[in-house]
Amino acid sequence: MKDVADPDLLARAARGDRAAFDELMRRHEDRVFAVCLRIMRNRESTLDAVQETFLTVFRKADQFRGDSQFSTWLYRVAVNTCYDLLRRMKRRPADPLPEGYEPPDRRVDAALSSVELRPGLTTALASLSEEFRTTLVLADVEGLPIGEVAEILQVAQGTVKSRLHRARKELARILGNREAWG
Partner 1 sequence: MHERHDLDLVAAFARGTLEDPTPARELIESCPDCAEYYEDNLLILEAVRNDLTPRLTDLERRRLRQSIWTEIDGSQTGPAAERVTWRSGAWWYRMAGAVAVLAAVVAVGGVLLGGRGGDMALESTTAELPRSEEETAIAAATTAAADEFTPMAADGGASATTGAAADDTEQAGAPEEATTDRALRAFSAPDLPEVVAEFLDRVTGGEVGIERPFACEAEVDTEQLLAVEAAEMDGDRVWFFAFGNQEEPSVQVLRSEDCSVVYPNG
Among 1, 112, 147, 181, binds partner 1 (CB under 8 A): 112
Cα distance between residue 7 and residue 118, in whole Å: 43
CA proximity to 139, closest of 155, 150, 154: 150
Among 63, 100, 180, 182, binds partner 1 (CB under 8 A): 63
Q: Does 115 bind partner 1 (CB under 8 A)?
A: yes
- Residue 35 · residue 75 · CB < 8 Å: yes
Interface positions, 141-170, toward partner 1 (CB under 8 A): 141, 150, 153-156, 159, 161-162, 164-166, 168-169
29 Cβ contact list (under 8 Å, min separation 6): 50, 54
Q: Does 72 bind partner 1 (CB under 8 A)?
A: no
Number of residues that bind partner 1 (CB under 8 A): 76
Q: Does 19 bind partner 1 (CB under 8 A)?
A: no
- Residue 160 · residue 82 · CB < 8 Å: no
Q: Does 50 bind partner 1 (CB under 8 A)?
A: yes
